[in-house]
Amino acid sequence: MSIEKVKILLLGVSSQSFFYDQVVIPFGLISLASYIDDGSYVIKGIEMNSPSERIPKRYLNVDEELLKEILAFSPDIVAMSTYASNIYNVLFWADIIKKKLPHCFIIIGGNHASYIAQECLEKSPGLDMVVKFEGEIPFKMICEKIKNKDYDFSNIPSLVYRANGDFKENSQGKMIKNLSDLPLLNRDYFADKTKSNNNVIHADVISARGCPYNCTFCDCNHYWNKVYRVRLIDSVIEELKLLKMRYPNLKSVRFRDESITINKERCRRLSEALIKNELNLELQAHSRLDGLNESIIKMLAAAGFVLIFIGMESGSQKVLERLQKGINISRAEEIVSLLRKYGIKFRISFMSSTPNEKFSDILHTIKLIKKLNLKSNEYYIGTGVDIYPGTKECDIFLKLNPKYKWLSRSYDFKGRYRGIKDSKGNILHPSYGEHGTALTILYRIVILLILSNPTELVRYFKRIIRRSIRRIINLFN
């Protein structure tokens, strides 16, 4: 007599809108599934960001076509990953699925839920458990328990779950020491059987986890416990070769590592391996400013890197010190010159109106942009600081707002703090700057005017108008 296999649904939940030309595969969910897949499970992936035209119908709304597909699969376990802008939709779909499939175990994880696990369980009656931080080991233990019909989860690390009408939080587990112990990602879970692999021209990979730096606005250092772990270079090359075999017309690959140059020696060896294997791919990566020098840039160019994303944040050294960025802005001109010399395109991100930042500091950023002669497609400048759980900015925020609820539908505006809401009125995450909302908008306009970028200014006003129209429409929905 054959035993019916446990069915696991990996649901890549969309946010309200779609910002990328390419759908980024849900790495976390795929890694979980690849780690547990020993043939004793039936695993299916559904990406809610595709097709993009259906995203509005799937945000805090029941897309009947999607629900029908989920119910037809009838999963025993549903796994979803959270981030700042999709967490409301994750909890919405947890409740929808639980009502239709009451015996299904619904599990979430990811950056946002890891820090507010109990609040997620309180908010969503359909949610059964939250896996905190790195999820492969606890998720495998959960699936084995459910497969064996053993529902005692008390010995599973990094788990917050419902138990006897209350919430229980188990002790935090250890991280995987060697990332090369993980299997190569099986991308077939989310394969679109209606499209040919010949249509895929871009893919993403991850060759390392973590960041050892101290930026106050980023939760990556805390989430990975300030530990930087890498995969063996041979494993990375093997994955790239498999991607080329699977997608004959693959042209570009983006490394989603926090920074490809955290370990310069490893970056050099990876580049040498890429050169040796002649993969003929246009490569993209992220890097810190202090990770770049002429020898590294020259090596990256030879290896096929055509685009580098750099978080420079500010042209004011004082602001950088406040943000604990740990870089020296005086090297910016040298690095940009070297990137241009070796033919690597770049996109630099800046922030303005950060806590305690004066307008004179913003002018330093503007002067730097002009000094570097940056084109509009070579930089981005935002306003304010978005606060994410697990960051040092969050620690400051919660000291001033100790009773703050991340999943509240209302928010008391206090001083310079303001709630960032979507069109449904849901707070995605709090945000604050040295200046109030009106001044922040004014500063943004002034910045764009000083930068003599009328195109960006028009786009900015269009975004404001679109948001206002959506709010008005939602008042009548």
Q: What is the CA radius of gyration of the chain?
A: 23
Q: Residue ranges per domain, the chain?
A: 6-169, 198-475
Looking at residue 428, its pLDDT comes to 52
The token duo for 258 is 């926090």
In degrees rounded to 5, what are phi and psi of residue 273?
-65, -40
Class of domain 6-169: alpha beta
- Please tell me the pTM assigned to this model: 0.85
CA distances from 100 to 10, 136, 273 (A): 17, 27, 50
Q: Is there a contact between 407 and 123 (Cβ–Cβ < 8 Å)? A: yes
Residues ≥6 apart with Cβ < 8 Å to 370: 451
Beta bridge partners of 6: 41
Distance CA 233, CA 230 (A): 8
For residue 429, the surrounding DSSP H or E stretch is: strand 427-432
Q: Is there a contact between 211 and 261 (Cβ–Cβ < 8 Å)? A: no
Domain 198-475 in CATH 3.40.50.150:
no
- What's the pLDDT tens digit per position in 171-180? 999 999 889 8
Looking at residue 2, its pLDDT comes to 47
Q: Which amino acid is at 208?
A: A
280 CB-contact burial (10 Å; exposed 0-12 / middle 13-18 / buried 19+):
exposed
The token duo for 451 is 């930068």
The token duo for 318 is 């004082």
For tokens 């505006």, name the residue. Answer: 413
Residues ≥6 apart with Cβ < 8 Å to 148: none
Phi-psi label, residue 258: left if phi above 0, alpha if psi -120 to 50, beta otherwise: alpha
Looking at residue 14, its pLDDT comes to 86
- What's the pLDDT tens digit per position in 404-451? 888 875 433 333 334 444 555 444 556 655 545 555 556 665 665 566
More confident residue, 279 or 472: 279
Q: Using the predicted structure, report yes or no on whether residue 328 has a pLDDT greater than 50.
A: yes
454-475 helix and 437-450 helix, angle to the nearest 10 degrees: 150
The token duo for 80 is 């979803």
Q: Using the predicted structure, report yes or no on whether residue 156 has a pLDDT greater than 60.
A: yes
- What's the pLDDT tens digit per position in 10-63? 999 988 754 444 456 788 999 999 999 999 999 999 999 877 778 888 888 899
Looking at residue 306, its pLDDT comes to 98
For residue 420, the surrounding DSSP H or E stretch is: strand 417-421
For residue 431, the surrounding DSSP H or E stretch is: strand 427-432
Q: Cis before residue 26, ω within 30 degrees of 0?
A: no
Looking at residue 475, its pLDDT comes to 47
Looking at residue 191, its pLDDT comes to 79
Q: Is there a contact between 15 and 82 (Cβ–Cβ < 8 Å)? A: no
Residues ≥6 apart with Cβ < 8 Å to 326: 213, 214, 215, 290, 320
Looking at residue 239, its pLDDT comes to 96
